[in-house]
Chains A and B, each alone.
Chain A
């Protein structure tokens, strides 16, 4: 093999501080314990309430100490990527939001942005701001579900009820705008599916006023709770170098002290026109990941308030691009215009064609860098779609975090990684 003949090619090997070797994603039982009778192997999952879905962890225990760990995934594999190759571009938009069923709007956005990048389609200002508004509401929704479930696993049962109270209000807003509470499919290539309804702004304003108080309440529940602090501080440590080497992103990366947020590093939509801070914490433990999530909720509320200010001035502006080859014509025109009827028929049956090429579009989803690699051969269906799922990689990093952990910490660590198994398995 030619590789072996080039020693310089293998000369520089990354040396992580805690990343297991030789397999970065498996923590192997140390040599001296391998034949010991004290070590028992326990199957954790695939069905267990604390695994956020169907994740199986094969854990080697020496007493309460975790000495080995291997994650087994694929129980929720549904072949989204294969399915999307069989659907027209127009229909395929329905799939991404089902991949990560907690942050559906961000998933929808990344695929729609990829189509628009291939088509070279400009979206109206109103659509960009409304997408941003909904994506930030969706980030709040996702963080609320995360906080509710991971706190529940650590015994803070009341947190679950409070978080789901606010989550309900967000879902009501989604229902008002899109007609669906989850899996909204409100983003079209070119803009939005429909105009923003009248009653949205007053309701959204009420929510924006309410939400910071709710975040204070959540912190009041746990911030000075000794059990909470002892179960989260100094647990599941991930250094900045390890986080980058393991491809971590989003809250996991920022809790490890890396100041990196795609909304600021390479703004998409209109993120360069809003004010927000990127919370960064240095310790890389479970507690810091909790802090990052809490701060991000406050920042998302700030962004939503700014988008509402702008959107309220855009009454009467177009919400979708005026390109009849891609965008469905207005419903009422179908009764009077032959051309509109033909366009409608062609888009619905054949779908629009997307020029040849490949793009990797990327957004900062609540879980981190969500990428969508799309290839088009110039036809009405995608040639290949691949999602870069942030929680796929967060789950891969679990063995690194689990070094020196106890069995009770495992729940806290897996919870803090915020994995959504639909996204891990796709």
Chain B
């Protein structure tokens, strides 16, 4: 497969992942839909890698702590080994594609993106991406360039913050009479 903008290919757990350049995402998607038959977009997800084990700590903030998940501390529920994957940026946007033919071949397309950077919208290629991308914006705060209607979908219109980010506090709603006023 001659995928435009291909950065890296990974095979793991019986699934194939392609990392592509963000700037050439639309080219890659159009190629996959028209040339390879991946007419069905299953899912669009966004992932926050803030505090990912082994990543530089200067930006960490897992579960509202400053130091991130300390994997080596005594009594911590640490990892057996550090993960191989090293995130290139804080966020990743993930597209799961499906071809409607026998064997149901699937593949995963991934782009890296920093906080505040936008990703080109794939709504012109697969209309089903409309709500998926709105959800990714709502939950992770990733803007989609060219989306026709990028507004919040699950949270209230006037909600502050993006709840699925790793630095979004749990129990984030202010409680009355709990501090000095």
A245 near B126 (CB under 8 angstroms)? yes
**Nearest chain A CB to B174 CB, angstrom units:** 17
Does B96 lie within 8 Å of A373, measured CB to CB? yes
Are B84 and A8 within 8 A (Cβ)? no
Are A265 and B104 neighbours in the complex by a CB distance under 8 Å? yes
What residues of chain A lie closer than 8 Å to B130, measured between beta carbons? 23-25, 396
Select from chain B the residue with minimum beta-carbon distance to A79. Answer: B163
Docked CA distance A79–B106 (Å)? 27
B7 surroundings in chain A (CB, below 8 A): none
Let me know if A144 is at the binding interface, CB within 8 A.
Answer: no
Closest to B34 in A: A12
The smallest C-beta distance from B19 to any residue of chain A, in angstroms, reads 12
Q: Please, how many angstroms separate the alpha-carbon atoms of A130 and B82 in the complex?
A: 37
Enumerate A331-383 residues with CB–CB distance to B below 8 Å. 350-351, 353, 356-360, 362, 369, 371, 373, 375, 377-381, 383
A77 within 8 A of B: yes
Are A3 and B13 in contact, with the CB atoms below 8 A?
A: no
Nearest-CB residue, chain B, relative to A369: B42
Q: Is B148 in contact with chain A by the CB < 8 A criterion?
A: yes
B100 interfacial by beta-carbon distance below 8 Å: yes
Please determine whether A379 and B77 come into contact, CB atoms closer than 8 angstroms: yes
Q: Which residues of B contact A369 (CB under 8 A)?
A: 42, 98
| Sampled A-B contacts (7; CB under 8 Å) | A6-B27, A13-B125, A14-B127, A24-B130, A244-B39, A245-B127, A362-B42
Task: Tell me whether A110 is interfacial, beta carbon within 8 Å.
Answer: no
Assess whether B53 is in contact with A246, with CB atoms less than 8 Å apart: no
Residues on B with C-beta less than 8 A from A13 are 124-125
Q: In the assembled complex, how far is the CB of residue B57 from the closest CB belonging to chain A, in whole angstroms?
A: 15
**A159 smallest CB distance to B (angstroms):** 31
CA distance A12 to B156 in the complex (A): 35
The verdict on A3 contacting B145 (CB below 8 Å), with A265-B103, A359-B13 known, is: yes
Q: Let me know if B85 is at the binding interface, CB within 8 A.
A: yes
A305 within 8 A of B: no
Q: Smallest CB–CB gap between B162 and chain A, Å?
A: 11
Contact bitstring B31-45, A, C-beta under 8 A = 1, else 0: 000100001111101
Of the residues A77, A351, A378, A392, contact of B83 by C-beta under 8 Å:
A378
A228 at the B interface (CB under 8 A)? no
* CB pair B100 A260 closer than 8 Å: yes
Chain A interface size range: 35 or more
Contact between A396 and B53 (Cβ–Cβ < 8 Å)? no
Is the CB–CB distance between B43 and A246 below 8 Å?
A: no
With an 8 A cutoff between CB atoms, is B116 at the interface? no
Q: Is B67 an interface residue (CB 8 A)?
A: no
Interface size, B (range): 35 or more
- Is B59 among interface residues, defined by CB-CB distance under 8 A? no
Whole-angstrom distance between the Cβ of B88 and the nearest chain A Cβ: 15
Nearest to B12 among chain A residues (CB) is: A357
A388 contacts the other chain (CB 8 A): yes
Assembly CA distance A79 to B71 (angstroms) = 26
Known: A25-B130, A396-B128. A2 touches B43 (CB 8 A): no
Given contacts A120-B13, A247-B40, A357-B13, 15 further A-B contacts (CB under 8 A): A12-B30, A13-B125, A86-B170, A247-B128, A260-B100, A373-B43, A373-B96, A378-B53, A378-B83, A379-B71, A384-B45, A384-B48, A386-B43, A392-B131, A393-B128
Q: What are the interface flags for B114-142 relative to A under an 8 Å C-beta threshold, 1 for contact and 0 otherwise?
A: 00000010011111101100000001000
Contact of A360 among B26, B43, B53, B80 (CB under 8 A): B43
Q: Is B18 an interface residue (CB 8 A)?
A: no
Chain B neighbourhood of A383, CB < 8 A: 47, 52
Q: How far is the CA of A374 from the CA of B70 in the complex (A)?
A: 22
Q: Contact string, B141-164, partner A, CB cutoff 8 A, digits 1/0?
A: 000011011001111100000011
Interface string of A385-403 (1 = CB under 8 A from B): 0101000110010000000
State the CA gap A24–B146 with chains docked (Å). Answer: 13
**A358 in contact with B17 (CB, 8 Å):** yes
7 A-B pairs closest in CB distance: A247-B128, A24-B127, A266-B104, A388-B43, A356-B83, A74-B154, A9-B26
